[in-house]
Amino acid sequence: MILVYMEVREGKIKKSSLEVLSEAQRRGGDLGMETAAVLVGHGLDSLAPEVSRFGASKVYILENSLLSHYSPSGYTQALLSLTEEIKPEVMLFAATYMGKDLAPRLAAKLGVGLASDCTQTSINNGKLEVVRPIFAGKAFASFTFKSTPQMASLRPNVFPLGDPVDSQGETVKKEVVIPEAQVRDRVTEIVRAEGAELDVTEADIIVSGGRGLKGPENFDLLRELVSLLPHSSLGASRSAVDAEWIDHQHQVGQTGKTVSPNLYMAFGISGAIQHLAGMSSSKYIVAVNKDPEAPIFKVADFGIVGDLFQVIPPLKEELKKVLSE
């Protein structure tokens, strides 16, 4: 069995978890294996049908009111009892903040290896093989597993969603028993970032700025583009972050986030090697820079050598036209 952990945020299944479930479904087909899903928390029954539609033949719901908020120790306890009972051959997570926090804790409890943030999966001789970027994408390594369950987390926004089907999976609800004293690291509050912006790791389009913006106030120009473009987010280079023009949450690159959106638009970013590592797997890259020699142009699908302050205003108008079509 392939078991997929389904992350719930604000009462909804994360899209990245559905991506993982879709990929599990494809690999399950290769292996001739059933795909099951597991949800952990409190009051999640209504979410089971959606999970079934994305291919889970069984949906486990691990229920305990102590787990209504995320707790790595509590959630691990719950998942440990299920994995020990049903013994999946493969277990997959989305490499979200929660997945990256939870999967290693569970892996260590199970004593198994874990491959983080994978961008490809395949089956070789009946075994899972995964590819994961290392050095933020400066190299790619392929791994197989020597322990069971073969455990991996998959990078959000990389694996295509399957088509939902009209299927009714079985739902198995389990009340998990966890002593309150074992739930020791509890989320007591979630503080939204200003504007509740979409995280760069989840965006389809990233509008990113560097030192060429000349000052923090000019990130507003990029924010205007972000507000026009659907499912987009604001990115930044390390030098813009280190100059304190913008919060580090936006930083793309080796000491920031590694991203692979459909479209990455770099304004005034020269393209230091540590930045290129973090965004080179984007599907399309657009660069606007005054310096024709900027390394960013070596990876750009479309580059404009020019002054970003003269490019952005007409760009806004053109985008508005196209988007309203």
> CB-based contacts of 99: which residues, under 8 Å, 6+ apart?
5, 7, 16, 93, 153
Out of 6, 115, 176, 259, the only residue in the binding site for other proteins (CB under 8 A) is: 115
Q: Which residue has the tokens 């369950």?
A: 149
Q: Which residue has the tokens 């494809």?
A: 26
Is the Cβ–Cβ distance between 129 and 30 less than 8 Å?
no
Q: Binding pattern to other proteins, positions 199-238, x when CB under 8 A?
A: x-xx-xx-----------------------x---------
Residues 231-290 that bind other proteins (CB under 8 A): 241, 247-249, 251, 253-256, 258, 262-263, 272-274, 280-281, 283-286
Rg of the chain in Å (alpha carbons): 21
Q: Which is nearer to other proteins, 26 or 109 (CB)?
A: 109
Out of 129, 207, 208, 213, the only residue in the binding site for other proteins (CB under 8 A) is: 129
Q: Which is nearer to other proteins, 32 or 314 (CB)?
A: 314
**196 is a contact residue toward other proteins (CB under 8 A):** yes
**158 is a contact residue toward other proteins (CB under 8 A):** no
Least Cα distance to 14 among 94, 118, 74, 76 occurs for 94
DSSP 27-78: HHHHHT--EEEEEEESS-GGGHHHHHHTT-SEEEEEE-GGGSS--HHHHHHH
Out of 52, 96, 121, 218, the only residue in the binding site for other proteins (CB under 8 A) is: 96
Out of 76, 83, 237, 270, the only residue in the binding site for other proteins (CB under 8 A) is: 76
Token pair listed for 17: 């978890």
Q: Binding pattern to other proteins, positions 284-303, x when CB under 8 A?
A: xxx-----x----xxxxxxx
Count of chain residues binding other proteins (CB under 8 A)? 103
